[in-house]
Amino acid sequence: MSEQRANNTYRDLFVGVDARVPLLGGGTRTYVSLDNAASTPSLKSVQVAVDNFLPYYSSVHRGTGFKSQISTHLFEEARHSVLSFVGANSTEYTCIFGKNTTEAINKLARRFPFTKERNVVLTSMMEHHSNELPWRGIARTIHINVTGDGWLDLDDFNRKLDQYKDELALVAVTGAANVTGYINPIHDLAEKVHAVGGQILVDAAQLAPHRQVDTRRLDDPAHLDYVTISAHKMYAPFGTGALVGRLDTFERGDPEYPGGGTVKIVTVDAVVWADSPERDEAGSPNTIGAVALMAAIQELERIGMDAVSQHEIELTQYALCRLPEVPGLRIYGDINPDNCDQRVGAIPFELNGVSHFKVAAILGYELGIGVRSGCFCAHPYVLHLLALSPEESAEHQSRIVAGDKSDMPGLTRASLGLYNDQADIDALIDALQKISLGEYQGTYIQDRASGEYIPEGWAPDFEAYLGGD
C-alpha cells in the first residue's frame, strides 16, 4: 500500500488528502475520499492561486484602481480559459459564469429561443435532476429511454428524434452519468440533432473533470451548442460554474436576472441591455471562484486530459476487478473492466441487503471512508436500475411524502478522482468485506425523516478540527 501511494504522482497535487479523521472506535485514520462525483478536494495550485490573488481582490469591470484592474484582468482571463478548455472559440461562443451547473442549465432554460413551432426538449432518463427539472414548465419535455443496465437507448433516441423532428428545439443530455459513469456519444447525437434543425446541450459536470471536452466550431455538424461545467467537481472550490453557449443565443432577449452590470444604459422608461456575457451576469460576480477554476484548468491541462483519463480508466478497472471479492455485493451498471474507456469512475452498488444509508454510515464513522448513498439527484434513473415497478415506486413516494425515508430506495456509490489510487480501492474492499460479515462495532440508529444512520452515543467533535474553542 505504501509503495502504491509513493508511486502516485497526482496525490501530492491536492490539499487535504492526507488529513486524518476521527473514528468511532477511537483514534484516527487518513481519510479515504470516494465521493468525487459530488465534490472534489482542491488542487494545491488552486489554493496558491487564490492566496496570491486575495491581496489584490477588488470589484471587477469599470474600476480604475489597480486592484480593480487586476481583478478584471484575471476574471476575463478565467473566461477565456474556460472557453479554451472546452474547445470553444470566442467569436462563436460566450462563457457565462454562475454558481454551478444547476444554475447554468436553469439560465439556458429561460434564455433558449423556443418558438411556437419548435418547443420540444428531448432529455433522458439518466439525467441528474439539474438537467431534467429546469425544462419542465418551460418546454414540452420528452424522455429518451435507457436500457436495462442503464445505457442511453440509442434506438429510442433515433425513434423520438424522428417523431419530433419538426418540433424539436433542444436535446439536453449528460456527457457522463453521475450514477453509473456512462459516457454518452455526444458528438454522434449532436450530428443527428443538427440534421433535423435542433440544438444540443451537454451537461458536462461529470465529464469535464475526467475527459477532454471539445465543443468544436459551429460549422462542424457534430458541434455542441451548449456545455455546462462545475468548478467544485474539477478540484476548485469557491462555488463557480460556467455555461458555454452559442453567442447568437445570448446576444438577444432579456436576461432572466436584470440588474447591476447587465445594461449599457437605463432611463426611467427604457433599458439597453449589455452584450454577452455581461447581460447574463447580474451583480458582482464570484471573482475568487473564477480564479480558482482557471487555476484548476491550468493544472489539468498541464497534466494532460489524456493522462487524467488513462489514470482513471486503470483505477476503475482495478475497482471493478476487486469489488466482486466482497460477499453479497452487487454492482449496478456495466461491470466489464474492458469497457472502462466508455465510462468515468462512478460505481453504484448494494451490499447484502444492508441499507445503503447504513453502509455509507459505517464506512464513514468507523472506517474513515467517504462515499454517497441514496439516489444521487437522479431518482428516475436509480429507480429504473433497481427495476422497481410503478406500484412499488408509488408506495415509496407515499411514505417519503409522509416524512418517512427509512426505506427509501437507493444505492451506495464510490466515485473516483485523479488523486485516488489502488490503496483507496483496497481500503474500500477491506471495509466492505467487514460490513458484509457483520464485523462492525457501532449500534446504529436511523432517523426516519432523513433515512440516515448515526452511531448511538458518539459524535465527532467538529470544533476540534475547525479551530473552535
Buried b (16+ CB within 10 A) or exposed e, 282-310: beebbbbbbbbbbbbbbbbeebebeebbe
For residue 377, indicate whether it is catalytic.
Answer: yes
Q: How far is the CA of 345 from the CAs of 38, 179, 211, in angstroms?
A: 12, 10, 11
Phi, psi of 442 (to 5 degrees): -75, 155
Q: What share of the chain is helix, strand, coil (3-state, %, to 5)?
A: 40, 20, 40
In SS3 terms, 21-57 reads as: EECCCCCEEECEECECCCCCCCEHHHHHHHHHHHHHC
Question: In angstroms, how far is the first alpha carbon of the chain from the final one?
Answer: 36
Q: What is the DSSP letter of 11?
A: G
From the number of C-beta atoms within 10 Å of its C-beta (0-12, 13-18, 19+), residue 148 rates as exposed
The three cell numbers locating residue 345? 469512475
Residue from 231, 226, 211, 210 nearest 294 by CA: 231
Q: In terms of Cα–Cα distance, which of 227, 222, 198 is closest to 211?
A: 227
User: Which of the residues 95, 321, 340, 377 is marked catalytic?
Assistant: 377
Rounded to whole angstroms, what are the CA distances from 179 to 48, 183, 206, 380?
32, 11, 10, 11
Neighbours of 154 (CB within 10 A): 16
For residue 274, what is its C-alpha cell? Answer: 449589455
The residues, ordered by sequence, that sit 6+ positions from 452 with a Cβ below 8 Å of its Cβ are 357, 361, 446
Whether residue 323 contacts residue 331, with contact meaning beta carbons closer than 8 Å, is answered with yes
What does the alpha-carbon distance between residue 411 and residue 413 come to, in Å, rounded to a whole number?
6
Q: Write out the catalytic residue numbers.
A: 377
